[in-house]
Amino acid sequence: MSTQSVRSPRAARGHVTQARVLHSEWIKIRTLRSTFFTLAFAVGAMLLFGPLVSFFTDGQGHGFQPAEWSLGGYLFAQLAVGVLGVLVVTGEYATGMIRPTLTAVPSRLPVLWAKAAAYAAVIWVLMTAASLTAFLLSQAILSSRNVPSTSLSTPGVTRVVFGTALYLTVLAVLSVGVGALLRNTAAGITTILGVVLVLPILAQTLPAAVADNVFPYLPSTAGRTLAILHQESNMLAPWTGFTVFCLYAAVVLAGAAVALKRRDA
């Protein structure tokens, strides 16, 4: 038997593939110390906020929407999702583990794709389950208290429930891109929090004529249209807004890919 025939199986087993890189990144995310607590906070926020609001509300408040109010925990969940997404990347830069990672995967880009895909998959599964559970619990509470409730069969409600999970999933991809682009935990978290919390507030301080044209296209505003039952007249249509949000995430991730190829580890 030739030396070549003996070595080939080993070489094949050790060949770097996208699937193997994805599996490696899944293990990293699963074993990251901050993962459990951050995701527990996100899930807890989704499961607690809506039912609590449903328990105390009389349904008479201005703009009461049983579907949207039951998913109000996204306000806190999005912060956890954004922060952890940044840490998925910057944590390796902080510890120096990024060097052996990129040495093992010289082409580099599979690492970025794997981080984004693995984290997005985790968020999609958890937030879909959490959104659906929060909705069902909240509607049961509202119904038991004779407060107006709704159901998944009501037009637009299914979009709102699963749209909340989709919004958080794309935010996860965006946050990974920001982390890879900036490579610094503080800068990355500040940027994500700025995009999610500060930009909408700043936009509303602009003159009305300008704000009406800027506000609908902000990342978080555009992404959230999918999870709003009735859009205001100046908002983008649900799937149009969500597409704009996806484009933001794609552009940031593409910028991170270019930077990852050009910069030293």
pLDDT of residue 64: 85
pLDDT of residue 16: 80
At residue 34, the 3 state secondary structure works out as helix
Dihedral sign for Cα 70, 72, 73, 78, please. Answer: positive
Q: Which two tokens stand for residue 241?
A: 């807004």
pLDDT of residue 6: 40
In whole angstroms, how far apart are CA 82 and each of 14, 17, 33, 158, 246? 34, 28, 16, 24, 15
Q: Which two tokens stand for residue 219?
A: 């990342």
- 45-100 pLDDT tens trace: 999 999 999 999 887 766 789 999 999 999 999 999 999 999 999 999 988 888 99
Nearest-angstrom CA–CA distance, 262 and 181: 11
pLDDT of residue 151: 95
Q: Which two tokens stand for residue 210?
A: 């300008």
Q: Which ranges of the chain have pLDDT less than 70?
A: 1-14, 61-62, 265
Nearest-angstrom CA–CA distance, 157 and 217: 23
Question: What rounded mean pLDDT belongs to the chain?
Answer: 90
The answer to whether 176 and 117 are in contact (CB under 8 A) is no
Nearest-angstrom CA–CA distance, 44 and 3: 57
Q: Which two tokens stand for residue 133?
A: 């559970």
Nearest-angstrom CA–CA distance, 112 and 121: 14
